[in-house]
């Protein structure tokens, strides 16, 4: 039976029928993860949760200890990871409130600890990252979204920026020219670290705002939080289906 780990916000643990059985305070060779890993049981299935930005939400995207997070999840028994991400919509199809299950990613970040393969190594290791998201896990997310009647797109290129600031209009125009459909700040190096640990990984992205220059209006955190609040019920319904698939 696959043990799924969910990386996202603390609200994801509020699934009807979920019982939290333990809070695992793990240390790793890379330091402490963002928060204790919550271990739970849902419909007879073991599941793990990790709050990417800490609990309370206090760690900015460029300071998340991604290596510690992924290492700790593997040590806790995770066999596959579903990452929940709030993103901005670049492509016209990525409307606010819509879900996207991206199939590709472009990394625009800098200065992040992005690999386990460094330091005093016995040999250099290269991992295949041509297809950054696991196909089987992506299909489970798509099936769950379809079954829930959610509004979603089944393909998308995720542009990952450094943050914590939002992007300029010119930067979004550049990302669009590069082929990005959505933009976020936490997709990398999370995805490649999962690949280095041989953990199947897929992303469930919720579009929470039009990217800079796409609406003619200023982006406000209040508006983003309203979309997040409305979308979280669907996120939890989708996750519940994946956990029992």
- Cβ 172 vs Cβ 90: under 8 Å: yes
pTM over 0.85: yes
188 known member of a binding site: no
| Mean of pLDDT values over 25-40 | 95
Q: Say if residue 109 carries a ligand binding annotation.
A: no
- Give the pLDDT band of residue 2 (cuts 50, 70, 90): confident
Check the annotation: does 161 bind a ligand: no
pLDDT grade for 10, boundaries at 50, 70 and 90: low
Structure-token pair, residue 94? 């990525």
Q: Kindly state the percentage of the chain with pLDDT values over 70.
A: 98
For residue 211, say whether it is annotated as part of any ligand binding site: yes
DSSP state of 63: G
Judged against a pLDDT cut of 70, whether residue 11 lies above it is answered with no
User: What is residue 36's DSSP assignment?
Assistant: P
Please report, for the chain, the start and end positions of each structural domain, with discontinuous segments joined by +. Answer: 4-116+127-243
Phi, psi of 197 (to 5 degrees): -90, 5
Residues 191 and 195: their CA atoms lie apart, in Å, by 6
- Is 21 assigned a ligand-binding role in the annotation? no
* 123 in a known ligand binding site: no
pLDDT band (50, 70, 90) for residue 102: very high
- Selection from 49, 11, 52 nearest residue 34 by Cα: 52
Q: What is the mean pLDDT of residues 211-235?
A: 86
pLDDT tens, 147-202? 999 999 999 999 999 999 999 999 999 999 999 999 999 999 999 999 999 999 99
Helix 135-148 × helix 221-243 angle, to 10°: 100
Report the first-to-last Cα separation within the chain, whole angstroms: 10
Right CATH number for 4-116+127-243 from 3.90.1330.10, 3.50.50.100, 3.90.940.20, 3.40.50.1580? 3.40.50.1580
Contacts of 130 (CB under 8 A, 6+ apart): none
125 marked ligand binding residue: no
The reply to whether 28 sits in an annotated binding site is: no
Residue at token pair 């099936």: 143
**Distance (Å, rounded) from C-alpha 85 to C-alpha 8?**
7
Residue 192: name the closest of 145, 130, 121 by CA: 130
């Amino acid at each position: 039976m696959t043990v799924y780990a969910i990386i996202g916000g603390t609200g994801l643990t509020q699934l009807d029928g979920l019982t939290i059985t333990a809070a695992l305070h793990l240390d790793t060779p890379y330091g402490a993860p963002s928060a204790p890993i919550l271990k739970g049981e849902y419909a007879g299935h073991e599941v793990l949760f990790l709050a990417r930005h800490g609990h309370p939400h206090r760690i900015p995207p460029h300071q998340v200890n991604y290596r510690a997070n992924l290492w700790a999840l593997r040590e806790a028994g995770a066999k596959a990871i579903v990452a929940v991400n709030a993103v901005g919509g670049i492509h016209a199809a990525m409307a606010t409130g819509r879900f996207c299950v991206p199939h590709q990613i472009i990394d625009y970040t800098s200065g992040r600890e992005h690999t386990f393969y460094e330091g005093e190594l016995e040999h250099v290791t290269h991992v295949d990252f041509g297809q950054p998201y696991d196909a089987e896990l992506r299909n489970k997310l798509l099936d769950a979204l379809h079954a829930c009647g959610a509004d979603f797109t089944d393909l998308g290129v995720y542009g990952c920026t450094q943050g914590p600031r939002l992007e300029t209009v010119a930067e979004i125009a550049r990302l669009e020219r590069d082929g990005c459909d959505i933009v976020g700040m936490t997709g990398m190096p999370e995805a490649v670290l999962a690949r280095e640990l041989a953990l199947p990984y897929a992303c469930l992205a919720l579009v929470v705002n039009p990217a800079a220059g796409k609406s003619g209006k200023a982006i406000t955190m209040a508006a983003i939080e309203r979309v997040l609040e409305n979308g979280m019920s669907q996120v939890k319904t989708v996750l519940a289906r994946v956990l029992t698939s």
